[in-house]
Structure 1
Amino acid sequence: MSDGRRPPPTVRLRRLAAELRRLRAATDLTREEVTEKTGINAATLYRVEKAQAKPQKRTLLALLDLYEAAEEQRANLLAIQRGSDDRGWLRPYHAELYEEYAAYIGFEAEAHTVRNYESLFIPGLAQTEPYARAVIRGVLPTASQKAIEQRVQVRMERQALLAKEDPLRLWAIVDEAAVRRMVGSSEVMREQALHLLQLVQEPHITFQVIPFDKGAHVGMSGSFVHMDFPDPADPEVVYVDTRAGDVFLESEAELRHYKSMFEHLQAVAMGPNDSADLLTKVAEARD
C-alpha cells in the first residue's frame, strides 16, 4: 500500500522543470496565462515547474507548442520526459527513508562533484561503518536497531560512488571539531582517521580541516552540500540540513552564496597535506 508520499525528484525531472520555466519566462507568460491558453490545470503546471510531478506527454507537447520550442529542444525535452522516472539507485528498504534524504541520495548518485562542509561530523561519504553507526545512534536516540542498521547500510552503499570506474569527485572541508570529537570510542576514532588518510590518497578526493585557531568563520552558520552534474544543463543544487527540515536550494542567488561560502572555507582551511598531518596526529593520539 502506498504511504501517500510523493516520490523524490530525479535530476532529469529537475532539468525538465528548469527548462520549462526558462521557456515560459522567454515568452513573458505568467502561469495563469499559460493555463488560459492551454487549458492545463494551474496546480498541475505549478507542480510540473517545481519538479513535483512528471508532465504527461500531451501536457508537455501543449507547453512546447505554446512556447514555440525548436525541434531539437522539443526532441531533447521529450526524451528527458520519457526517462525522468529512472531511479536505479533505489533499494526496497529506501522507501522507509524520509523523502528529502531519498531525494538527496538520488541526486548524489548522479552528481559529478560533491562539495561538502561539515562542522561536527565526518562527511557521510567518508565515514567508517562503526563511526556511522555511533553517529546515527547518537543523533537518533529513539530509533530502533533496525532503523539504525538500515541507515548505516544506505550510508555504506553511497560510498561505492567513490570507487566506481568514473568516480564521484568529493571535496570535503570539516571543522577540527569533526575530527577531534569522540564518537563511539577511541578505537572508532582511530579507525576513522586512518580511513580518511587512505581516502585522501585518491586523486578525486580532497579533504581539508579548519583548525580551531582560525577562530570564527563562515561555516559556523551550518553544514551544507553543493552538487553539480555531468551535463552542464542539469541544474546544480545545494542541500542544507536545518532544524526546521532539509532544504534544497537551486536559485542562482542561492548557488552563488554557497559557492562563495565554500571558497572562503577553502581559503581558511589547512591545505590537504597539513590536514593529512593532523589526521595522523589524531590517529596516533588514539593508540
Structure 2
Amino acid sequence: MRYGPAVRRRKLGAQLRALRAHAGLTSGEAARLVGWHQSKVSRIETGRSGVKPADVRRLLDAYDVRDPELHELLVVLAGSDGDGRRHWWHAYRGLLPSTYSDFISLEAQADSMRTLENSVVPGLLQTPEYAREVTRAVVGGTHGGKVDTLVEVRLARQAVLRSNKPLRLSAVLDEAVLRRNVGGPEVMAGQMAWLQEAARLPHVRIQVLPFGVGAHIGVSGPFVIFSFTNRSDLDVVVLDHLTSSLYLEQKDDLQLYEAAFDSARGQALSPGDTLDFIAGLADGA
C-alpha cells in the first residue's frame, strides 16, 4: 500500500520499463538514445524519482511508441498533458493536498470509475448547495475561503461527465446516503432531483443499497476504483480518509475490491428501481 504520488511514479515507471523491453532495448541502450546516464533510466523505471513530461515524451519516442492515447496517459501521469499545458487543477497547487490532486488527475484520465459510498453523495454527483454543506462540515465553519475553493474544485471535477468522451460512472449508494439530511429539505430536494437527472445519462449508472439488504460489504467503508481501457495494470483503488487518501495498486487488492463492488452491485436495486426509489424519497414517501 502506497500513497498517491508514489503510486503514480511506480505505475509510470513500470509502463516505461515494459515499453523499453518491448522495443528490445536495455536500460543502458535507452539511456544512450536520449543522452542520459543509465542510472537515471533505472531510477525512473523503479519509481525512485519523478520524471518530467518532456522526458517521458523523449523515452516514448525512443521506444517508437505511436499510440496517442498511451502517450497522453503516461505524460499525464508525469504531471502534465501531451501538449505540455497545465491542467485546470494546477491553478490550485498549494491549496489542495497532493493526494487530492492525484485523485483529480486519475479521475480526469480514467475511462471508468466505480464508487461505493455509504455516507454522502459522491462528489461527481453533488449539487453546489449539497457540496457546500458537506465541505463546510469537513473543514469547519470558520474557513469560508477554503470552503469556497474546495466547492469550486469539486464542481470543476464534474466536467468529466460532460466531456466529448465522458467518464463512465457506476455508483452504488447505501440508502443512508439518501436519508441523511444534508443542508435541510431544500438542499436535499435539489440533490434528489439532480441524482434522477444524472441517472438518466447513458454513461452514469446509479444503484441504491436499501436498508432491507442488511449488512453488506460497503459497511467497511467507501472506496473508488479507477479503470483504464486496455490498461488494467494502471487501475487503482482509492480509499479516502479525513486527512489523506490511500492508493492501492497491487493486483490482489484490485481483485478484492472489484469483487466487493460486484457483490454490492448485485445486492443493490436495479438502475430503474433506483430511479423509482429516489423519486419516492423526493416525494416524501
The one-letter code matched in structure 2 to 1:40 is S
Q: Tell me what 2:29 maps to.
A: none
Q: Tell me what 2:135 maps to.
A: 136
Measure, in 2, the Cα distance between the counterparts of 1:73 and 1:117. Answer: 41
Measure, in 2, the Cα distance between the counterparts of 1:233 and 1:226. Answer: 11
CA shift in 2, pair 1:211/1:273, >3 Å: same
CA shift digits 1:7-64 (9 cap, x unpaired): 95897x66531224558999xxxxxxxxxxx7627xx955652375017999999xx9
Measure, in 1, the Cα distance between the counterparts of 2:159 and 2:54. Answer: 35
CA shift digits 1:96-132 (9 cap, x unpaired): 1000001100110111101111110101000000000
Q: Where do 4+ consecutive residues of structure 1 move more than 4 Å?
A: 7-11, 20-26, 44-48, 55-61, 77-83
2:85 is equivalent to residue 49 of structure 1: no
Measure, in 2, the Cα distance between the counterparts of 1:181 and 1:56. Answer: 43
Q: Tell me what 1:3 maps to.
A: none
CA shift in 2, pair 1:60/1:129, >3 Å: closer
Q: Tell me what 1:197 maps to.
A: 196
Other structure's SS at 1:280 match:
helix
2:14 is equivalent to residue 18 of structure 1: yes
Which segment is superposed worse, 15-24 or 144-153? 15-24
Q: Tell me what 1:76 maps to.
A: 65
Query: Is the contact between residue 207 and residue 265 of structure 2 (CA under 8 Å) also seen in structure 1?
Result: yes
Q: CA deviation at 1:244?
A: 7.0
Which segment is superposed worse, 232-241 or 123-132? 232-241
Q: Tell me what 2:173 maps to.
A: 174
Structure 2 gaps of 5+ residues are 23-36
Structure 1 gaps of 5+ residues are 1-6, 27-37, 65-70
Q: Tell me what 2:220 maps to.
A: 221
Q: CA deviation at 1:89?
A: 3.5
2:253 is equivalent to residue 254 of structure 1: yes
Query: Is the contact between residue 20 and residue 63 of structure 2 (CA under 8 Å) also seen in structure 1?
Result: no
Q: Tell me what 2:26 maps to.
A: none
The one-letter code matched in structure 2 to 1:200 is A
2:114 is equivalent to residue 115 of structure 1: yes
Measure, in 2, the Cα distance between the counterparts of 1:76 and 1:47. Answer: 17
CA shift digits 1:113-171 (9 cap, x unpaired): 01111110101000000000000111221651111010100111111111112211110
Other structure's SS at 1:184 match:
coil
Question: Normalised by the size of structure 2, how large is the TM-score?
Answer: 0.78
Measure, in 2, the Cα distance between the counterparts of 1:250 and 1:105. Answer: 17
Measure, in 2, the Cα distance between the counterparts of 1:40 and 1:60. Answer: 18
CA shift in 2, pair 1:159/1:228, >3 Å: same
Other structure's SS at 1:254 match:
helix
Query: Is the contact between residue 14 and residue 235 of structure 1 (CA under 8 Å) also seen in structure 2?
Result: no
CA shift in 2, pair 1:51/1:273, >3 Å: farther
CA shift digits 1:232-251 (9 cap, x unpaired): 27611111113573111111
Equivalences for 1:136-175 in 2 at 5 Å? Answer: 136-141=135-140, 144-175=143-174
Query: Is the contact between residue 116 and residue 172 of structure 2 (CA under 8 Å) also seen in structure 1?
Result: yes
Number of equivalences: 259
CA RMSD of aligned residues (A): 3.5
Over the matched positions of the two proteins, sequence identity in percent amounts to 34
Measure, in 1, the Cα distance between the counterparts of 2:10 and 2:230. Answer: 13
Which segment is superposed worse, 127-136 or 85-94? 85-94
